[in-house]
Amino acid sequence: MRFHWGWIEPVMPVPYVPTLGPARWGDPLFELLEAVVDVAGTGRFLPHDKDRRWGDTKTERVLAAIEHGQEQTLIPTLVERGRGVVKVHVYGAAPDSLTAGADLARKLAAAHGAARARIVWFLDADQPDVYAQGTRVQLKDFTDGPGHPPGVPIQEHKEPAEGAGFGAFAAAMAEDGFAFLHAQMQAGTVGPVLTVLHDGMVVGAIGPMETMPDVQGDARLLPQYFGVLPQCRGRGYGRALWRAAMHWGQQHGAAYQLLQTEVGGASDRLCRAEGLSSLGFVNQADV
């Protein structure tokens, strides 16, 4: 499949590539789109795919049923985890673009035996938050420096801090991914995790702290699991962890970090307050 960049660029309000996620304006988006199509169905990761750290096989792939035209482009993917999800990424401004995407998603979900069908569409950064139904893509540029110091003591651990109750913290925060992270730390397969203590026990964490070269060779600080126990929120621990993570990224040569934060959520408000740049919104809805 070969794309006409002149057709896609005007209807791509957010630099987002199916199966890879957000990128930066200025990244070779056209080449990235073609690359994810070229490896579709092989199970291989692209060298700069952030998901490489979690497994040996890519579990989301582009499907061959791409619809590419001057007014809209529909790029379907299949997530092969669990019972399966078909996602149709809608790049288009036509009045019926979302309807066309939903129809294609339902058809492909049935054809591939996927349990869920979903559409993904995009809004530029100037749109009001009220129109968003998903996440905001945020950019931290380390050329501006790491930002304020944490202001609270933060610990760095390569192995779980079991003496400080990291396992109990991870179990309590399992829905935020920390049980999975705990297992990865025990296996020694991920980078360090930053924690904050209250009365000697872990009550918040962010990690794993890792960088990876992007398609242009720039070091990217990868997204982390991030959370504080509900009973310990409102004490500044989350902000301290976030600031410590930014200092870690600066010290380890990161050029930038890209994040997707739930619009209006605690992480979203924190990142906005810390001066990150919004690149737009990624919306999703099951159909």
- Which pLDDT belongs to residue 265? 93
**What CATH number corresponds to the domain at position 148?**
3.40.630.30
- Which pLDDT belongs to residue 87? 98
What are the tens digits of pLDDT across the range 20-76?
999 999 999 999 999 999 999 999 999 999 999 998 999 999 999 999 999 999 999
Q: How far apart are CA 214 and CA 205, in angstroms?
A: 25
Domain end, chosen from 74, 96, 123, is at 123
- Which pLDDT belongs to residue 93? 81
Question: Are 13 and 59 contained in the same domain?
Answer: yes
- Residue 227 phi/psi, 5-degree rounding, is -170, 160
Residue 17 belongs to some domain of the structure: yes
Question: CB count, 10 Å around CB of 251?
Answer: 9
- 123, amino acid identity: L
Domain end, chosen from 92, 123, 154, is at 123
Residue 174 belongs to some domain of the structure: yes
For residue 216, pLDDT over 80 is answered with: yes
Least trusted range by pLDDT, from 79-83, 114-118, 253-257: 79-83
Reported confidence tier of residue 96, pLDDT bands at 50, 70, 90: very high
Question: Are 199 and 255 contained in the same domain?
Answer: yes
Average pLDDT over residues 251-275: 96
Domain end, chosen from 123, 149, 183, is at 123
What are the tens digits of pLDDT across the range 134-193?
999 999 999 989 999 999 999 999 999 999 999 999 999 999 999 999 999 999 999 999
Question: Are 188 and 65 contained in the same domain?
Answer: no
On the CB side of 258, CA atoms within 13 Å amount to: 21
Question: Are 166 and 53 contained in the same domain?
Answer: no
Question: Are 161 and 265 contained in the same domain?
Answer: yes
What are the tens digits of pLDDT across the range 116-136?
999 999 999 999 999 999 999
Question: Are 262 and 170 contained in the same domain?
Answer: yes
Residue 285 belongs to some domain of the structure: no
Q: How far apart are CA 125 and CA 139, in angstroms?
A: 12
Range of the domain at 186: 140-280
Residue 128 belongs to some domain of the structure: no
Number of domains the chain contains = 2
Residue 63 belongs to some domain of the structure: yes
Question: Are 155 and 69 contained in the same domain?
Answer: no
For the chain, give the mean pLDDT: 96
Residue 109 belongs to some domain of the structure: yes
Question: Are 47 and 106 contained in the same domain?
Answer: yes
Question: Are 218 and 271 contained in the same domain?
Answer: yes
Closest to 246 measured CA to CA, from 147, 113, 115: 147
